[in-house]
Each structure stands twice: as structure tokens, then as C-alpha cells.
């Protein structure tokens, strides 16, 4: 019964057949989560790293079928933050102890490379001790290099699904899995700390798709793996599709911790949106990062990726206090350092470079 957990614990891998068996059969949750928690503590102790998330534009030229801010949703009320507003969010986040800022947005053509670089440089100048993370979608290698030269050091781009047929069911023809993968390997090569990941329980996802996701992540070796349950949005073509399952999503978190012991794994907002204690449960299943929202309260509701998204009425300071409390109650410790991945720390210790 727990043979697969034992093998995961000792070898950090399973064959395709074993992965399918693991995904398809009930596993003893207490054993699985205890194994994941032990591995997480061995690698990262009880630290939970914080990233201040700034959702700076909800304009998007893409039309992913699952996402509430897709270009084709005429009911999405669009907004962009000004550079000054973004810098004010960083300043507030800094005062709250955050040393990583994540600029996340739709693929918004208004933000030319010049604008992104100016923004990144301005944040880097004001907060030289912080890491700047971008999460603004698929770009050319040249663009990624320019952002890096301006001071960005991390990039989040979920691959969403590594199965080509599944990818086609989630995205219109204008998008391609090949290009997304190209982006991720370009980011790696440039020297970014890279985050990738996928939704759990997205429409048409099978266990075979998840095996593909794992094999892809094993090739990419990202610093961070972001996953969370798919949550329905009524104004998308998938309005009738059910949301992902909490327990299955937690099982995936624990499995990822055991497959990728050194990865940073966020307890994502989608977990908190599916269940009031969803993020705490994700922490106890092996996650070790949280991304509190720093966006101005006035625009939070508008970054409407999926329904019942949490923290849309709270101010940054409220989220910060709430989160600290939740992290404590789950049995962990919020820390205020940049929180580089272990793989990155080992790499920079060898080469002597940083930032
Ligand atoms: N449910 C859950 N996650 C979603 N995302 C987009 N739409 C949804 C949804 N309906 C995730 C995608 C994207 C990230 C920013 O949000 O994985 O990469
Ligand atoms: Fe935002 Fe709890 S983390 S209100």
C-alpha cells in the first residue's frame, strides 16, 4: 500500500506505470504528507518564503479557454497600474518585510520591452536588496535577456500542460506548447531562476497528462514549481467544467515535494480559494512559499482569473498579518529573506555570482 511512498522517499522518482498507479489509487494521506513534510524540513527547515505579488495589468492578448481575463471576455473590466503605483506597492511590501516582488500581468502589448525594463530598473534602484520576478508571459529570447540586464532575476511561466493534445484543448491555435517550452529553456539559459507548473484538474486533464508534466519538469529542473487546482470561471468557454479536487491537488503537492526535494513550491491562492484552509493544508503537504497580494485593493477584484479568488477585499497589511498567522498555525515560520532555491544557492556558491 505505502510501497510507492517508500520508493518516492528513497529514490525521488517512479516509473511511468508507478506514477499512474500512485495517481489512480488512494494513498494514505497521513503517511504521504508526513513524508513530504519531512523532506521539506530536511531541505528548507520550517521556513516559508514570501513573495509580494503585484498584479499590474489585466489586459491580455491571449485567449486561454480557462482564464477569466482572456482577451475574449468582454465583461472583464480592464486596468493597468502606473509605474508610481507599482513602486508604491513595492515600498509598502518592503516595509512589510518582503524581499521579492513578483510583477504579474496578462500579455499586455502596452508594456513594450522599454517600459518593462524601465520599471524593473526603477524597482532595482529603489530596492537593491530585493529580487525582482517577472510573470508576463511568452516573449522572445532577446526580450528576456533585456529584462535580465535591467535587473530581473526570476521568471514565472507555467507550462500549463506538457501533453500536446491536452494543450490544444486548453488553448486556441494562436498559442503553442513548443513556444512555451522554448521560452522556459531560454529563461533557464539566460540565468533566471525559473518557475513553471500546471493546473490540477483542468478540463480534459488525465493522469497521463500529469506524468507528462512530471517528465517535462524533470527535464527543465525549475527552481519553483507552481501548481494549484483549476477553478471554474463563468465567463469562459469552460464555464460548465467542474473545478479541481482539493485532496487530489494536495496529493500532487506532496508528490512534487518528494520528486523535486529542492524545489520551491508555493501554497497558491487557488488552494485558498477552493478551501478556507487550503493554503495551510498545502504547506503541510510540502509547499514552502506564499505569495501575498500587494496590489492596490481597488483593482484586486479585477484580476479575476477564476471565481471566488481570495484576498480581493484586503489591503496589503491585512494579508501580511493574516498570512503570518496562517503560517504559524500550520506549524511553520515566515522568513523575510529573498528565498532563493537551493539549486540556485548551490550554483551561485560555486560560481561566486549573485543577484
Ligand atoms: N483556475 C486556476 N488557475 C488558473 N490560472 C488561470 N486561470 C485559472 C483558473 N481558471 C492560472 C494559470 C496561470 C496562472 C497565473 O493562473 O496556471 O499560469
Ligand atoms: Fe489575504 Fe488572508 S492572506 S486575507
CATH number assigned to the domain with residue range 27-351, chosen from the 4 options 1.10.3720.10, 3.40.50.1100, 3.20.20.70, 3.30.2010.10: 3.20.20.70
Instruction: Kindly state the percentage of the chain with pLDDT values over 90.
Output: 95
CA dist 9 to 14, 101, 316, Å?
10, 33, 38
Nearest-5° angle of CA 44, CA 49, CA 51? 155
Confidence (pLDDT) at 202: 98
Q: Residue 206 above 60 pLDDT? A: yes
- 8 A C-beta contact, residue 55 and residue 299: yes
**Can you tell me whether residue 330 is helix, strand or coil?**
helix
What is the CA(60)–ligand 1 centre distance, in A? 13
What is the CA(228)–ligand 1 centre distance, in A? 8
Exposure on the CB side of residue 346, measured as CA atoms within 13 A:
7
Average pLDDT over the chain, rounded to an integer: 96
For residue 198, give the ligand 1 atom closest to its CA: 17
Confidence (pLDDT) at 355: 53
> Where in the chain are the domains?
27-351
Q: Which ligand is nearest to the CA of 213?
A: 1
Q: What pLDDT digit, counting tens, does each position of 143-197 carry?
A: 999 999 999 999 999 999 999 999 999 999 999 999 999 999 999 999 999 999 9
Residue 236 has φ and ψ, to the nearest 5°, of: -125, 165
115 C-beta neighbours (distance < 10 Å), count: 12
Q: What pLDDT digit, counting tens, does each position of 279-301 carry?
A: 999 999 999 999 999 999 999 99
Q: Which ligand is nearest to the CA of 291?
A: 2
Using alpha carbons, select from 312, 310, 305 the residue that is nearest to residue 62.
305
What is the CA(158)–ligand 1 centre distance, in A? 9
What is the CA(333)–ligand 2 centre distance, in A? 16
Nearest-5° angle of CA 245, CA 248, CA 250? 105
Q: Can you give the pTM of this predicted structure?
A: 0.97
Confidence (pLDDT) at 354: 56
Using alpha carbons, select from 173, 220, 222, 177 the residue that is nearest to residue 341.
222
Q: Residue 275 above 90 pLDDT? A: yes
Q: What pLDDT digit, counting tens, does each position of 49-79 carry?
A: 999 999 999 999 999 999 999 999 999 999 9
Amino acid at each position: 500500500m505505502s510501497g510507492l511512498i517508500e520508493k518516492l522517499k528513497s529514490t525521488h522518482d517512479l516509473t511511468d506505470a508507478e506514477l499512474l498507479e500512485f495517481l489512480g489509487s488512494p494513498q494514505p494521506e497521513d503517511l504521504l504528507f508526513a513524508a513530504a513534510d519531512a523532506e521539506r524540513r530536511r531541505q528548507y527547515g520550517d521556513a516559508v518564503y514570501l513573495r509580494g505579488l503585484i498584479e499590474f495589468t489585466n489586459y491580455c492578448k491571449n485567449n486561454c479557454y480557462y482564464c477569466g481575463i482572456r482577451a475574449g471576455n468582454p465583461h472583464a473590466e480592464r486596468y493597468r497600474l502606473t509605474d508610481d503605483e507599482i513602486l508604491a506597492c513595492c515600498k509598502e511590501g518592503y516595509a512589510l518585510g518582503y524581499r521579492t516582488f513578483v510583477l504579474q500581468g496578462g500579455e499586455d502589448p502596452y508594456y513594450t520591452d522599454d517600459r518593462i525594463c524601465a520599471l524593473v530598473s526603477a524597482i532595482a534602484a529603489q530596492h537593491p536588496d530585493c529580487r525582482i520576478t517577472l510573470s508576463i508571459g511568452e516573449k522572445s529570447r532577446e526580450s528576456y535577456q533585456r529584462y535580465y540586464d535591467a535587473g530581473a532575476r526570476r521568471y514565472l511561466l507555467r507550462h500549463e500542460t506538457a501533453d500536446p493534445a491536452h494543450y490544444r484543448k486548453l488553448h486556441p491555435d494562436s498559442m503553442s506548447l513548443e513556444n512555451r517550452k522554448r521560452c522556459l529553456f531560454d529563461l533557464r539559459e539566460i540565468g533566471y531562476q525559473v518557475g513553471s507548473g500546471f493546473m490540477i484538474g483542468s478540463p480534459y486533464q488525465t493522469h497521463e497528462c500529469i506524468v507528462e508534466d512530471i517528465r517535462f519538469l524533470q527535464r527543465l529542473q525549475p527552481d519553483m514549481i507552481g501548481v494549484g487546482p483549476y477553478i471554474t470561471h463563468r465567463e469562459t468557454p469552460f464555464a460548465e467544467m467542474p473545478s479541481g479536487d482539493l485532496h487530489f491537488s494536495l496529493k500532487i503537492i506532496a508528490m512534487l515535494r518528494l520528486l523535486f526535494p529542492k524545489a520551491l513550491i508555493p501554497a497558491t491562492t487557488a488552494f485558498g480559494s477552493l478551501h478556507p484552509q487550503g493554503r495551510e493544508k498545502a504547506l503541510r503537504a510540502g509547499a514552502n512559499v506564499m505569495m501575498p497580494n500587494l496590489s492596490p485593493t481597488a483593482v484586486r477584484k479585477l484580476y479575476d482569473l477564476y471565481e471566488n479568488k481570495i484576498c480581493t477585499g484586503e489591503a496589503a497589511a491585512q494579508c501580511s498579518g493574516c498570512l503570518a498567522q496562517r503560517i504559524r498555525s500550520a506549524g511553520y515560520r515566515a522568513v523575510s529573506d529573498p528565498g532563493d532555491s537551493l539549486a540556485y544557492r548551490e550554483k551561485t556558491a560555486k560560481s561566486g555570482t549573485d543577484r
